[in-house]
Chain A
Amino acid sequence: MYSKKVFEHFRNPHNFGSMDNPTVVGQVGNLACGDVMKLYLKIAKNKQGQDFIKDIKFETLGCAAAIATSSVVTDLTKGKTLTEALKITNKDVVKALDDLPTIKIHCSLLAIDALTEAIYSFYKKTNQPISADFEQKHNRIINCQTRLKH
């Protein structure tokens, strides 16, 4: 049911484990649903003075798809500027894994949500302006989380 790519990331995930002194952390998911994703980001300035993801690591409790999507998101975002990273969608994640079973698509969304949350808290932390669009995205994720907890 899973593609070869999913199995590769599942068996030998990239960039996993915790990180000492991360700049920000994004955690989404819910124990009751069986999937929890935690992304650790180290953010620095590049030569052009833009914020970029210098290092990224993940810890995930979940199924093979959850682990593979976490792994692939770290690959897709490592070295990217935050603006670039925010443009990555769950479709990109699914594509990078050579597709996911329909019932597992929500796992790819979870990985993107964790990334969005991490970057959101970085913007907050550094008092950077947050677009209405981004704020809306953040609220959707938070609402989803609270709904799941009840």
Chain B
Amino acid sequence: MNLSTKSRYGLMALANLLNQDCCCSVKKISEAEHISSDYLEKIFSKLKKAGILKVERGACGGYSINGDPKKITLSKVVNALEKAEFTCPDFCTCQSKSVWQKIQSGFGYVLSSITLDQLSNFKNKSIYLDYAASTPVDSEVLATMLPYFSQNYSGNTMSLHKYGNSASQIVESCRQTFADILKVKSSEIIFTSSATESNNTVLKGVAFANKSKGKHIIISSIEHDCVLNSAKWLETQGFEISQISVDKFGLLNLDELKKTIRPDTILVSIIHGNNEIGTIQDLASIGQICHDRGVYFHTDASQSFTKTPINLSKLNIDLLTASSHKIYGPKGSALLYIKTGTKITPLLHGGGHEFGFRSSTVNLPAIVGFTKAAEIAIKNFDQEKEKLTKIRDYLINNILKTIPDSHLNGHPTKRLFNNINISFDRVEGESLLLELDFFGIAASTGSACSSMSLEPSHVLLATGLKSEQAHGSLRFSLGRFSTKAEADYLLEVLPQVINKFRALSPFKG
């Protein structure tokens, strides 16, 4: 066998070269890739001899790729650098010869199927900082889900045969798990397909079931679009919506809430942990205010569930939304807690699943996955909170310190342990996002330019930001697989990216 570091270094250096704007000196690449320049010089001269590289003269002197990188395969490169042979000599007739022949042909097949162009597009860094948008499914969650796609659990939970029974038993045990976590009765938990569905069910279901009492609904000015747009739609149906303002940290104005509740108010819906700025509301105080006035209180806990303890036995909450794909569970699964006695009309009518609150054959594997994800998150809560709070504060402090004219959005301490949201003056979020993507960093922005609406984030505007500050905001959301090394990489890249666009801007600091 014969395959050495020559090939590996050769490919590393070529990938680096392809990512340069023009040709490049051996010295520059050897420094970037930490390869000795003498060794690299030898590798490059072999590649030049093979016609893969050519020498460029002039101010920007050095090597460049000779020809179209889309047409040069890795096998050409490896063959130029060394004799990559896995077979026995021709005269050999040993029993293992066919094994080596197969390896040789497989080896050749792989190398000839990848071009230099593809190699240069394999991002060496890939850092996901958008966990608040969605999380990857935990491998343990996936393994737990898989058996539930099989025939043993193929029944409809409403069927009376054994297949239906076994599916039904599993769903009930999942329901019990969530009831235990939230400290409620299992009959108060219903499974839905998404937090959007849960929130729509609450807004529309409570509105239509209680319209004889009144048609006034209260939300905050920083709700998720699914609450905000449901409320807007209800306005077209003759309901009246009031939005309670927040302070500059995103905390709800409780006095305003007290003053806004009227005899005909039927529902108060306030987001718990905000998805954009991470501010966590005081559920106990809001619940008390609503309870004292006999108004239903719903909270959207999609972002906060398992990230901050929620004990419903001690809180005056009538309805609560939680979601699976924010906590390393599968997409397409969520829950709605409905306190016994709450008057609510279902959104989906049909066979009467989920105690009649949500007809639809239940999605068993997704519910099992959601449940497992919640169990893991609760089990790891202390550890994850400690680790991510540290990384979060490390990033916030260093970004604010190293990048001038940057401002933290949201509350400094009453915030989700994975949320970072910062505005940068004189830059625009979409361009930052795309440039960060080139560095392999995935983030999110409150800028209008990245949305379909051309309006900047209503949440950031509600905290008193000017439009231009909202346009220049970035959200980094951490997750289970985030590391300090990733944070350091972001701290290395972000100042360069901000500087690049500030240099382009007509406004100077």
Contacts and interface: CB of A to CB of B under 8 A. Distances in A.
Contacts, number: 70
B454 A62 contact: no
A94 to B, nearest CB: 17
A32 B448 CA distance: 10
Interface in B436-473: 438, 447-450, 452, 454, 456, 466-468, 471
B456 A34 contact: yes
Contacts of B448: 33-34
B223 interface: no
A74 B505 CA distance: 16
B59 interface: no
A11 interface: yes
B331 interface: no
A77 B235 CA distance: 50
Contact of B506 (A2, A13, A59, A103): A59
A130 interface: no
Contacts of B447: 34, 63
Contacts of A27: 506
Interface stretch (B99-107, B129-137, B358-366, B427-435): B427-435
B466 A62 contact: no
Given A61-B428, A61-B507, A31 B452 contact: no
Nearest to A70: B504
B452 A103 contact: yes
A32 B506 contact: no
Contacts of B348: none
B426 interface: yes
A16 B450 CA distance: 23
Nearest to A18: B506
A12 interface: yes
Contact of A32 (B426, B431, B468, B501): B468
Given A34-B471, A64-B430, A103-B452, A16 B504 contact: yes
B146 interface: no
Interface residues on A, range: 20 to 34
A31 B426 CA distance: 9
B21 A12 contact: yes
A107 to B, nearest CB: 9
B504 A64 contact: no
A63 B431 contact: yes
A60 B467 contact: no
Given A10-B431, A33-B467, A67-B431, A60 B454 contact: no
Given A32-B468, A34-B428, A64 B434 contact: yes
A17 interface: yes
B503 interface: yes
A36 interface: yes
Contacts of A67: 431, 504
Contacts of A66: 428, 431, 449
A10 B504 CA distance: 11
Nearest to B426: A61
Interface in A94-144: 103
B101 to A, nearest CB: 42
A149 to B, nearest CB: 12
B505 A60 contact: yes
A51 B503 CA distance: 30
B100 to A, nearest CB: 43
A139 to B, nearest CB: 23
A62 B430 CA distance: 8
A64 B503 contact: no
A61 B430 contact: no
Nearest to A11: B438
A36 B506 contact: yes
Interface in B492-507: 501, 503-507
Given A10-B431, A34-B456, A61 B466 contact: no
B467 A32 contact: yes
A103 B449 CA distance: 9
Nearest to A6: B434
Contacts of B449: 34-35, 62-63, 65-66
Interface string A31-75: 111111110000000000000000000011111111100000000
B438 A61 contact: no
A64 B504 CA distance: 12
A5 to B, nearest CB: 14
Given A31-B468, A33-B467, A61-B426, A13 B431 contact: no
Given A32-B466, A33-B467, A34-B428, A61 B504 contact: yes
Interface of B: 21, 426-428, 430-431, 434-435, 438, 447-450, 452, 454, 456, 466-468, 471, 501, 503-507
Given A16-B504, A34-B471, A67-B431, 18 more contacts: A7-B434, A16-B503, A31-B467, A34-B428, A34-B447, A34-B449, A34-B456, A34-B468, A38-B506, A59-B504, A60-B504, A61-B427, A61-B505, A61-B507, A62-B449, A63-B430, A63-B447, A66-B449
12 contacts: A7-B434, A10-B434, A17-B503, A33-B467, A34-B448, A34-B467, A35-B428, A59-B505, A61-B507, A62-B428, A62-B431, A63-B431
Ranked nearest first, the 7 interchain pairs of A and B with the lowest CB-CB distance are: A63-B449, A34-B471, A59-B506, A38-B506, A63-B430, A32-B467, A31-B468
